[in-house]
Amino acid sequence: MAARLAKRVLLIGWDAADWKVIHPLLDAGHMPALEFLIDRGAMGNLATLRPILSPMLWTSIATGKRPDKHGIHGFNEPDPHTGGTRPSTSTSRKVKALWNILTQRGFKTHHVGWFASHPAEPINGIAVSDTYTIPTAAPGDPWPMAAGTVHPQDMTDTFAGLRMHPGDVLPEMILPFIPRAAEIDQEKDRHLLSIAKVLAETASIHNAATWILEHEEWDFLAVFYSGIDHFSHGFMRFHPPKLPSVPDREFELYRDVMAGAYRFHDMLLARLLELAGPETTYLIVSDHGFHSDHLRPRGIPREPAGPAVEHRPTGIFVMAGPGVRQDARIDGATLLDVAPTVLTLLGLPVGEDMDGRVLRQAFDNPPGVEKIPSWEQEPGACGMHSEDLRVDAESARLVLEQLQALGYLQPPSDDKKKAVEIAVREQKYNLACVYLFSRRPQQAVPLLEDLAQAYPDEERFAQHLAQCYILLERRDRAQAVLEGLLARQDKPNAAADWLRGELYFAQGDAPAASEALLRAEQHDPQLPNLHIRIAQTYFRQRKIDDAERALTKALEIDSDSAEAHLWMARVRLRQRRDTEAADEALTAVGLEHFLPLGHFFLGVALVRVRHFKRAIQAFETTLSLAPGFAPAHRWLAAVHSRPRGDKKRAAEHRDWLRQRREHRRAAAQPA
């Protein structure tokens, strides 16, 4: 076991917290507890995963693994007991979360309110599931908790008494959020009720967490607050600057709600700091951000996960405690890095099958990272539910059908049938998106083919299938899907022209791609990724100044677009503006570490400005992310061949390139 770097770790989840809202509040002195941690620790962006759906993301935070590994693929799943659906459960998670690993090694570990944590697992500590705050009774009536909400079971009554019902929220508690609340007609406007619900849920979670800190021994506590996300979905459209679609009166009534929500969470954080003390190492993370400016969507797609369009792909990361760098900025962190970093803090090895990395740059003295093949093979009680209780969505659906056929369950109502169908469909679609956005289109194709055939009116399935075909260079199939989409559309739209442009681009017809993409821009000029694609078509045509202008548009819309900075770095290299190219590449990999081309362009720029040592590091990082990327081997061979270079390393890279050429020649020979 490696050296333990933290006496205790408190992991705090703020769903949807976003620096764009936080920074002005920090500057105004309105979030002193968070500022205290930032001044004494490291902070940065936290890149999310796609699709940006909270149950999947928070499970990735707790496991260090992508959803295809951990098994949580959406909000809902079939319920074998009722014939309907239920929120995703802990029995659907296929791998160990942090609290299971820590239980296995004897740590006193607790968690409160985490997504997809019901029924509570029998860990070495207290587990309070995500059903804890759901009100099931009217104010003043008995309010029983669902079985499995709390472990150990004999703590149920204690934690039941710590909950707050929305009916217990007093008018004066709402005034900090809506000073003119008395003017609102609550028969017609339900915003006050929604605030009461969020306040009650947040207070209940906080009461449970603080009770544990006050009464229990602990090495690790994870507490999840959903309040910022719930406030954001209800009130971010009223946040300054005013949107044209928001009536003046509603803007004046609700403009301060979001600032109040963040200040409220800062007050709760202050209490956690007081109870946990200075010897604790703190991590505050969000699974994604939330659009708060001109990028707020004009409408919500009519699909089950439609509200996710309001999510921004950049969350927050703060880490503070003994041995953590003070007042430091951390670049390139992803939510997959949280679990490996927590394990390292507590002196435990990281599973090689985890998809994240330890954020070593957050430490004063970067620690060595001990590894094991996988925690899933480590023996010993870990507090997970038994194998016979675990089931994925498709298996749950089959169990339902079997029980109904045997007569143990009544055939479900049409509503339940439809709910199960939608749950299974969305889980399959979300898994396909996981594969597509993690650059594994070949695994997404069979899922999307099934969905596109079963639901021909759902354009999103066909659009993503066409994207996969394009990436796999199956252009005839992409063309067929595109033609099918166009045949069903009444009029041209941005999505269709964009997809047509993608296909032309893949076929090598850059002028036709530009024409189609520029038509898409006319339909919707506020899509940053569209401008990036337009820039790529110009770049292929050697129209470098036009590419620069398109990328400038993309960055004006979204300055946090890693891909826009990546391509601007490439443009700057072509323009021989090498220092600017290095700056753009650094920004890109700071926003998203897993960008092999970003590190590669950084290396090229650094060679040109004669920073050879840093260039070598950049090229080696490229190869750590993409070992078969031949241009990085060529550059390393060249840089190491310089006078006073490492001739042995140069020879190793030349040998790799030679073996690759020989392998390709052999593969090209007729059998």
Question: pLDDT tens for residues 328-349?
Answer: 999 889 999 999 999 999 999 9
Are residues 264 and 300 located together in one domain of the fold?
Answer: yes
Are residues 19 and 163 located together in one domain of the fold?
Answer: yes
Domain total of the chain: 3
Averaged pLDDT score across all residues of the chain: 92
In whole angstroms, give the CA distance from residue 120 to residue 522: 51
Tokens of 2: 């490696």
Full domain range(s) for residue 516: 489-559
Q: What does the DSSP 8-state code read for residue 490?
A: S
Over residues 10-42, the pLDDT tens digits come to: 999 999 999 999 999 999 999 999 999 999 999
Going by C-alpha positions, the residue among 196, 195, 146, 188 that lies closest to residue 167 is: 196
Check residue 411 and give its pLDDT: 58
Going by C-alpha positions, the residue among 557, 537, 555 that lies closest to residue 547 is: 537
Helix and strand element counts for the chain (H, E) = 27, 15
Are residues 248 and 190 located together in one domain of the fold?
Answer: yes
Average pLDDT over residues 433-457: 96
Indicate the pLDDT class of residue 491, thresholds 50, 70 and 90: confident
Distance (Å) of CA 337 to CA 50, 204, 240, 323, 399: 16, 29, 33, 18, 36
CATH number, position 93: 3.40.720.10
Task: Judge whether 319 lies within some domain.
Answer: yes
Over residues 216-254, the pLDDT tens digits come to: 999 999 999 999 999 999 999 999 999 999 999 999 999
Task: Judge whether 421 lies within some domain.
Answer: no
| 3-state SS class at 142 | coil
Contacts of range 607-614, beta carbons closer than 8 Å, 24 or more positions apart:
607/635, 607/639, 608/573, 608/576, 608/578, 609/578, 609/579, 609/582, 612/639, 612/642
Task: Judge whether 74 lies within some domain.
Answer: yes
Question: Exposed e or buried b for every residue in 34-49, given b needs 16+ CB within 10 A?
Answer: bbbbbebbbbbbbbbb
Task: Judge whether 345 lies within some domain.
Answer: yes
Q: Please state whether beta strands 289-290 and 311-312 pair in parallel, antiparallel, or not at all (unpaired).
A: antiparallel
In whole angstroms, give the CA distance from residue 428 to residue 153: 34
Check residue 397 and give its pLDDT: 53
Are residues 143 and 232 located together in one domain of the fold?
Answer: yes
Check residue 390 and give its pLDDT: 59
Residue 667 has pLDDT above 90, yes or no: no
Residue 137 has pLDDT above 70, yes or no: yes
Over residues 505-518, the pLDDT tens digits come to: 988 999 999 999 99
Indicate the pLDDT class of residue 487, thresholds 50, 70 and 90: confident
Residue 138 has pLDDT above 50, yes or no: yes
Check residue 671 and give its pLDDT: 60
Higher-confidence position of 395 and 531: 531
Check residue 285 and give its pLDDT: 98
Whether the full predicted model's pTM is greater than 0.85, yes or no, is: yes
In whole angstroms, give the CA distance from residue 211 to residue 218: 12
CB atoms within 10 A of CB 194: 17
Indicate the pLDDT class of residue 414, thresholds 50, 70 and 90: confident
* Contact status, residue 296 vs residue 243, Cβ threshold 8 Å: yes
Average pLDDT over residues 43-52: 95
Residue at which a domain ends, from 378, 401, 425? 378
Half-sphere exposure at residue 428, Cβ-oriented, CA atoms within 13 angstroms: 22
Are residues 510 and 365 located together in one domain of the fold?
Answer: no
Are residues 58 and 125 located together in one domain of the fold?
Answer: yes
Residue 594 has pLDDT above 90, yes or no: no
Are residues 514 and 639 located together in one domain of the fold?
Answer: no
List phi, psi (to 5°) of 151: -125, 135
Are residues 508 and 648 located together in one domain of the fold?
Answer: no
Q: For residue 635, which amino acid is it?
A: W
CATH number, position 588: 1.25.40.10
Are residues 637 and 502 located together in one domain of the fold?
Answer: no
In whole angstroms, give the CA distance from residue 565 to residue 568: 5
Check residue 403 and give its pLDDT: 47
In whole angstroms, give the CA distance from residue 440 to residue 464: 13
Check residue 664 and give its pLDDT: 87
Residue 60 has pLDDT above 60, yes or no: yes
Count of residues in the chain: 671
In whole angstroms, give the CA distance from residue 67 to residue 160: 32
Going by C-alpha positions, the residue among 93, 41, 107 that lies closest to residue 348 is: 107
Are residues 494 and 354 located together in one domain of the fold?
Answer: no
Residue at which a domain ends, from 354, 378, 402? 378
Indicate the pLDDT class of residue 80, thresholds 50, 70 and 90: confident
Average pLDDT over residues 405-420: 67
Q: For residue 277, which amino acid is it?
A: G
Check residue 614 and give its pLDDT: 96
* Contact status, residue 594 vs residue 334, Cβ threshold 8 Å: yes
Alpha-carbon dihedral 217, 214, 280, 10, rounded to 10 degrees = 90
Check residue 372 and give its pLDDT: 97
Check residue 568 and give its pLDDT: 98
Over residues 151-206, the pLDDT tens digits come to: 999 999 999 999 999 999 998 999 999 999 888 888 788 899 999 999 999 999 99
Residue at which a domain ends, from 508, 529, 559? 559
Task: Judge whether 202 lies within some domain.
Answer: yes
Q: For residue 113, which amino acid is it?
A: G
Are residues 369 and 515 located together in one domain of the fold?
Answer: no
Indicate the pLDDT class of residue 488, thresholds 50, 70 and 90: confident
In whole angstroms, give the CA distance from residue 287 to residue 254: 25
Indicate the pLDDT class of residue 135, thresholds 50, 70 and 90: confident
In whole angstroms, give the CA distance from residue 517 to residue 519: 5
Are residues 611 and 532 located together in one domain of the fold?
Answer: no
Task: Judge whether 459 lies within some domain.
Answer: no
Task: List, in sequence order, every residue forming a beta bridge with 350; answer none if it has no partner.
Answer: 371
Over residues 360-409, the pLDDT tens digits come to: 999 999 999 999 999 999 999 999 998 766 555 554 555 445 544 555 44
Task: Judge whether 448 lies within some domain.
Answer: no
Task: Judge whether 403 lies within some domain.
Answer: no
